[in-house]
């Protein structure tokens, strides 16, 4: 059994991406980390965000081999579970995110479990989905 998740997102411009995750997705910035140069490791930096209360984090860091936007944005999708898919959809839409799927019922939708999904891209083309219910 795993104990949590730590999502790594590498970027050519982590400062810009950090702003989106902090200001639009409202993730709490845990710390900015400066990576010092040592054997075979070039100096870099990144930002660690708290994703959930259960030891789940998102790291946004600078990487010398990453250039531009994601070339296959739907290859990997990260889900953010919420009780208000509609509210979060509107927030990322209003912030200018590319919307791949407006809030819609998932294939797992049941009357006793009204499950919705909305898919969007962050500023560098990484896919995220809001999964959960709509606020009553």
Of 96, 104, 102, residue with least CA distance to 122: 96
Of 117, 89, 106, residue with least CA distance to 25: 89
**Res 136: pLDDT:** 58
CATH number, domain 77-132: 3.30.720.110
**Res 113: pLDDT:** 86
Give the pLDDT band of residue 23 (cuts 50, 70, 90). Answer: very high
Q: Which residues contact 85 (CB under 8 A, 6 or more apart)?
A: 103, 116, 117, 118, 130, 131, 132, 133, 134
**Res 38: pLDDT:** 84
pLDDT digits (tens, 9 = 90+) for 87-107: 999 999 999 999 999 999 998
Beta-sheet strand order (sheet of 6-11)? 6-11, 56-62, 44-52, 28-35
Residue range(s) of every CATH 3.10.180.10 domain in the chain? 6-62
**Res 93: pLDDT:** 98
pLDDT digits (tens, 9 = 90+) for 112-136: 889 999 999 999 999 999 999 988 5
Distance CA 80, CA 15 (A): 22
Quick check: 70 pLDDT over 90? yes
CATH topology of domain 6-62: 2,3-Dihydroxybiphenyl 1,2-Dioxygenase; domain 1 (3.10.180)
Of 74, 13, 99, 67, residue with least CA distance to 21: 13
């Amino acid at each position: 059994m795993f104990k949590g998740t730590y999502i790594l997102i590498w970027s050519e411009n982590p400062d810009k991406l950090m702003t989106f995750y902090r200001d639009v997705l409202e993730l709490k910035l845990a710390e900015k980390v400066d990576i010092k140069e040592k054997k075979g490791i070039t100096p870099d930096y990144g930002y660690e965000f708290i994703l959930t209360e259960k030891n789940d984090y998102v790291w946004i860091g600078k990487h010398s081999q990453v250039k531009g936007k994601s070339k296959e944005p739907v290859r990997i999708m990260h889900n953010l579970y919420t009780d208000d898919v509609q509210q979060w959809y509107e927030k990322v839409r209003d912030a200018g995110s590319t919307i791949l799927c407006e809030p819609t019922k998932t294939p797992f939708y049941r009357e006793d479990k009204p499950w919705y999904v909305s898919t969007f891209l962050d500023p560098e083309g990484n896919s995220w989905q809001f999964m959960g219910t709509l606020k009553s």
